[in-house]
Structure 1
């Protein structure tokens, strides 16, 4: 039985060759997940800077026209990549909600005269 945490319960049910192939695939998935986390971190660093700029110039935290355009753009990209566009829309909406929440916090902090850059989590 494999002690590799990527094996999960499959280790007790499949032949070693199948398990080896499964572990290889899961290793790729783990690498992709790590890349996604790092990409999201970079994205949020950029949106934090946008939030500071918006707060400095008293712009609203949300930009519905931009959000609508980005969702349409992402859905087209998803279709081209053979990814479910509805999934892509849900994913972007989740990110947008978090960004707006960050922008609201930055704006509130700025209006209270505090530092304009909130702490990263």
Structure 2
């Protein structure tokens, strides 16, 4: 994700893509349900991961703009 963060910073793209995130959440919830897992837990886990990735992308953006 660091390379993606760098590309987003260089091309002035936002660190988050809410539409893509929503599609991934829907997909993950369906996979969890099909696997007999708790879809709500799967969604919470994905939200945590996405938040961390966005935080890293924002940090990278700050580094890229300081150059």
Shorter-chain TM-score range: over 0.9
Q: How far apart in 2 are the matches of 1:81 and 1:55?
A: 37
**Count of residues in correspondence between the two structures:** 67
Q: What SS does structure 1 have at the residue aligned with 2:28? A: helix
1:14-64 superposed Cα distances (whole Å, 9 cap, x missing partner): xxxxxxxxxxxxxxxxxxxxxxxxxxxxxxxxx212111111101011111
Supply the RMSD in Å over aligned alpha carbons: 0.7
Greater RCO (CA < 8 Å, at least 6 residues apart): 2
Task: Pick from 71, 87, 112 the counterpart of residue 25 of structure 2.
Answer: 71
CA distance in structure 1 between the partners assigned to 2:31 and 2:6 by the alignment: 29
Structure 1 segments unaligned to the other structure (5+ residues): 1-46, 114-121
Provide structure 2 residue ranges, at least 5 long, that are not aligned to the other structure. Answer: none
TM-score by length of 2: 0.95
**Inter-partner Cα distance in structure 2 for 1:84 and 1:99:** 23
